[in-house]
Structure 1
Amino acid sequence: MLKNENLSAEQNLPYIAGITLIATLGGLLFGYDTAVISGAEKSVQQYLITSQGLSTWVHGATISSALIGCIIGGAISGFFSSGIGRKKTLILAAFLFFLSALGSAYPEFLFFNQGEPTMGLLYMFNFYRIIGGIGVGLASAVCPVYIGEIAPANLRGRLVSLNQFAIIFGMLVVYFVNWGIASGQSPEWLNEVGWRRMFLSEAIPAGLFGVLLFFVPESPRYLSMVGKDREALQILTKVNGPSRASLILADIKNTVEHHSGKLLSYGKTVIVIGILLSVFQQFVGINVALYYAPRIFESMGAGKDASMLQTVVMGIINVIFTVVAILTVDRWGRKPLLMVGSVGMAIGMFAIAGLSYFEVIGISTLVFIIIYTASFMMSWGPICWVLISEIFPNKIRGKAVAVAVAAQWAANYFISSTYPSMMEFSGAFTYGFYGVMSVLSLLFVWKMVPETKNKSLEEMEALWTGEAASVRHKAPAMAAKTKA
């Protein structure tokens, strides 16, 4: 095993940076696609929901419909990434992003008349949003895995965290785009034209992502798993230098050849930790703040334009604190950042719950929303993806990441779609629930999550190999006791 991967003069940093930046466009589209709805949701509600006399439940389900696609995309990501490779899966995701951008903007295409909302049109809009969600699900699973499998161990935390930076940057970009489209326009224009332009704008980065992907290599760990060792060695040499490439390839081959690849072949604990990382990342309520940001700020007394501007401010804060995570993740480690973030999120959500209970609306609410989102962005936002890309052994990584990501999007859908009805019941209860989840996330990290800083992917595998072996040895011993 490689015990350390110190920064080497042989590492081709410009090459690594170029690959990473192209791959992170998938993260940017992930953020863009999930946040574009924040500016369009009120117009979509007016055009497709209110005009037909439909309920708030239908509104919540429509706004969150892309998450159904995210669940599907996450669930099938393992099949595609293991079957056709990481690179081709990302190309597929780019195509789905592009198709969703066009279809969400003009769901009337071919079958319906513009300006005549019907249930059929509502279904078609949701269909295109689900298509985009499948792209998000694929990209959210495969981008961090691809970056993690390309990157040297000493840079992996920072490079995978760049994917989260790209997600947040994508959200910030679309906040500016939405603000620019909505600024100075009448509600009638937004309800007829503006929301369409918001969705259509995604076609530009989606097309760019699809084209650039043809210029990146396949993951060397995937190539090794399908028997293409010569190609894998060429890429490892270009990334790490010739003196380390053969050693890394030997480690990869060892981990691939000695295990069956069945999902539970390394024990249940690693799978449970991956799922709980994903679930807690969503149950703390972050996507409520992201998807419904303009509506939240309007409920605090801001006007339409002001609420869009405050959303941009929140996006800038998110970017700044994601950079904090990138700069510290390989220095401080994963666990300390997650635990500090959980404390900050709990403080923010419990404070918002208290302000909501006493009906205090004003700048203090904005301050605590910023404390909450900043805490998330410096911890659970990027670090969850870093850990998901790191903790699973090579042989089961595609399948295990698919399970974790599908669980994440299922949790996301549950939290986002229930928010409107929960708020109708009680704002204090809603935000208090997210605060409780933040406390539970702290306890989970403290008790169960291993530290992965500066460990190669193959060294991480040794942790779970030992545990699986322990379980296998205990089983015969227990059987012998039973016979005795």
Structure 2
Amino acid sequence: MEKGEAVKKPLLENYNGQGSEISSSAPLTIVVGFSCIVVYCSSFAGGNSIGYSSPAESGILNDLGLDLADYSVFVSIFLIGSLCGAVWSGKVAEFIGRRGTMGVTDLFCITGWLAIAFSKDALWLDFGRFLVGCGVGLSCYAAPIYVAEITPKTVRGALMSVKPLLMSSGKALFFFIGPVVNWRILALTALVPYLLQLPGLLFISESPRWLMKIGQAEKSESALRRLRGEKANISQETAEIRDYIEYSKRVSGDGILSVFQRKYSYCLIVGTGLVAFRQLGGLGGISFYASSIIKSAGFSSEIGSIAVGTTEILSAILGVCFIDKFGRRPLLLISAAGTCFGSFILGLSFFLQGLHFGEKITPVLGLAGILVYFGFFSLGMEGIPWIISKEIFPVNIKGAAGSIASVVSLISGWVISYTFNFIFEWNSAGTFFIYAAMSGASVLFVWKMVPETKGRSLEEIQASLLISPQQ
């Protein structure tokens, strides 16, 4: 038996006996619920950031005298800022903790939204959008990993999928009110979630797993007891966390280079592949320019935006209800296939429009395509790729691997959002057929590569993948 296998074997034995039954029965307490609410304020605000550019487009273009090229820079610079934040997101979260990182996020985003709201030219507008992007990039790792680390495994999927629900709700709110509110007022509205989260961070516990990793065992046990309740038996869960962190430190050191060891290749391919396909299916283009797409299809952008927002919320609610019942893989497969179909319908609408065929039906077909896209996207592809990536990365490389996944996602998103206007002007139908092809490829990727993680502790998932990645 190899040395690595000798280390892993006793670790896995902890998950095959009564220990996993004890930890799986951990209760969902009020403290856990409150902590998730505080953390997910930034997720709602992240949805605001994505939904802002679509309804604000005409107002900004008119008031500041920008052209479409200038506005493409404004839209895409959000993702450049997010990329800068994401590069450091994992390391910052490991260095100052999950709560500290979210506090820094709030400061970046508050400053950025104020710069947008009071901007007089494109420079301040882009600067504010860049800062908001930096904040969102920082939070994209800290918020979901915090929730993953504090929640019992029986409800982890549902609570982590609240993030995409809130992001959809944040986008929907701006789709609802954006057409009737000045773009400056809309920017000030985006401050509210951050102003609620900032003081709320003072009242929640730090992640027990992070505290254990930095050697503060007593604080880790105290935080876990607070999360699980004073009368809860936390001995088994504490032992699992301690054993896995000790194992991780033995088998590999921290650092960006350690992520690229062969034993982590499967986790890295799955984690980065999922978040890349999530973007390459057209998310940045369709989300940031939803109103323009609906208007180009010949439908009312105001009515269409409300329909999109409503569809996203209802679909995201279904995703929360089903994720721990049916599992991650089935929802991902359905979601990816649905976005493929939605993009195809959109492409067909513009194709028929170009032929001047069915002029009465093409606007309805266009709206139907965008509703199908957003409905199925919110069901699974919105949040499950991030959930799985947080679940499968081992704790010793979680920070570096999380940063890599975020960078891959944001580069992919920037390419889609920046090129959308240019590709759309070149061939409107072809744009969505390309997105449909990429969504179809994501179906194959999920089918062949992605493991099911439902109902398993983080330590169990990560340890089993290191031994047998194909299971």
TM-score (norm 1): 0.86
1:88, distance to aligned residue in structure 2 (A): 0.5
Q: 3-state SS of the aligned residue for 1:64? A: helix
Distance 1:450 1:49, change over 3 A: farther
Residues 9, 444 of structure 1: alpha-carbon distance in 2 compared, 3 angstrom cutoff: closer
- Tell me if the contact between 2:118 and 2:184 (Cα under 8 Å) persists in the aligned partners: yes
**Contact 1:49 1:58 (8 Å CA) reproduced:** no
Contact 1:73 1:135 in 2 (8 A): yes
Instruction: Rate the CA distance shift 1:387–1:358 in 2: closer, same or farther, 3 A.
Output: same
Match of 1:263 among 240, 259, 263: 259
Residues 7 and 321 (structure 1 numbering): CA distance in 2 closer, same or farther, change over 3 Å? farther
Same amino acid, percent of matched pairs: 27
Deviates more, 1:382-391 or 1:160-169: 382-391
What SS does structure 1 have at the residue aligned with 2:298? coil
Across the aligned residues of Structure 1 and Structure 2, the Cα RMSD in angstroms comes to 2.0
Separation in structure 2 between the aligned mates of residue 454 and residue 284 of structure 1, nearest angstrom:
29
The reply to whether residue 141 of structure 1 matches residue 141 of structure 2 is yes
Structure 2 stretches lacking a partner, 5+ long:
1-13, 354-358
Aligned twin of 1:362: 363
What code does the residue aligned with 1:247 have?
Answer: Q
1:274 aligned to which of 271, 274, 278: 271
Partner AA of 2:442 in structure 1: S
Amino acid at match of 1:269: Y
Query: 8 Å contact 2:345–2:365 — kept in the other structure?
Result: no
| Alignment pair present for 1:314 and 2:303 | no
- Give 1:403 deviation, angstroms: 0.9
What letter corresponds to residue 216 of structure 1 in structure 2? I
Please say which of residues 316-325 and 251-260 is displaced more in the overlay: 251-260
Cα deviation, 1:286-319, whole Å, max 9, x if unaligned, reads 23222111112222334xxx42232122111101
Q: Verify: 1:284 aligned to 2:278, yes or no.
A: no
- The alignment partner of 1:208 has SS state of helix
Residues 10 and 388 from structure 1, CA distance in 2 versus in 1: closer, same or farther, beyond 3 angstroms?
closer
* Partner Cα distance (1:398, 1:9) in 2: 28
| Structure 2 equivalent of residue 62 of structure 1 | 74
Offset of 1:175 from its aligned partner?
2.1
Shift in CA distance, 165/264, structure 1 to aligned 2, threshold 3 Å: same
Question: Unpaired segments of 5 or more residues in structure 1?
Answer: 109-120, 182-193, 471-484
Q: Which residue of 1 aligns with 2:91?
A: 79
CA distance in 2: counterparts of 1:150 and 1:455, whole angstroms: 14
Q: Decide whether the 8 Å contact of 2:87 with 2:403 is kept in 1.
A: yes
Moved more, 281-290 or 415-424: 281-290
Which is worse superposed, 171-180 or 270-279?
171-180
Q: Is 2:49 the counterpart of 1:33?
A: yes
Q: How far 1:390 moved relative to its partner?
A: 0.8
Q: 1:66 to 1:244 in 2, by over 3 A?
A: same
Looking at structure 1, the residues matched to 28 and 325 of structure 2 have their Cα atoms a distance apart, in angstroms, of: 21
Which secondary structure state, in structure 2, belongs to the residue aligned with residue 80 of structure 1? helix
Where does 1:79-98 land on structure 2 (aligned, <5 Å)?
79-98=91-110
CA–CA separation in structure 2 for the residues paired with 1:210 and 1:34: 21
Describe the SS at the equivalent of 2:382: helix
For residues 374-422 of structure 1, what are the alpha-carbon distances to aligned partners after superposition, in whole Å with 9 as ceiling and x for unaligned? 1111111121121122111111112111110121111111101110000
Residue 264 of structure 1: how far off its partner (Å): 3.1
Q: Using the alignment, how far apart are the partners of 1:440 and 1:314 within structure 2?
A: 25
What letter is aligned with 1:13? T
* 1:447 positional shift: 0.7
Distance 1:301 1:10, change over 3 A: closer
Q: From the superposition, tell whether residues 159 and 6 of structure 1 become closer, same or farther in structure 2 (CA, over 3 Å).
A: farther
- Name the CA distance, whole Å, in 1 between partners of 2:138 and 2:277: 20
Q: Does the CA contact (< 8 Å) of 2:157 and 2:324 recur in 1?
A: yes
CA distance 1:232–1:256, shift in 2 (3 Å): same
The aligned residue for residue 425 of structure 2 is 424
Q: Deviations over 1:307-359 (max 9, x none)?
A: 22321221111011111111111111111111111111111111221221111
Does residue 31 of structure 2 align to residue 15 of structure 1?
Answer: yes
Q: Describe the shift of the 1:255–1:386 C-alpha distance in structure 2 as closer, same or farther (beyond 3 A).
A: same
Shift of 1:5: 4.9
Output the CA distance in 2 between the equivalents of 1:263 and 1:244: 34
Measured against aligned partners, the alpha-carbon deviations of 1:46-104 in whole angstroms (never above 9, x if no partner) come to 34454xxx5x4333122221111111111110121011000000011111111111111
Aligned residues: 438
Alignment of 1:336-415 (within 5 A): 336-359=330-353, 361-415=362-416
Asked whether the equivalents of residues 44 and 169 of structure 2 are also in contact (C-alpha less than 8 Å), the reply is yes
1:12 Cα shift? 4.4
Structure 1 residues 395 and 244, CA, compared in 2 at 3 Å: closer, same or farther? farther
Whether contact under 8 Å (2:24, 2:153) holds in the other structure is: no
Misfit runs of 4+, over 4 Å: 5-10, 241-244
In the other structure, the counterpart of 2:243 is 254
Work out whether 1:245 is the aligned partner of 2:234: yes
Question: Bigger shift: 1-10 or 17-26?
Answer: 1-10
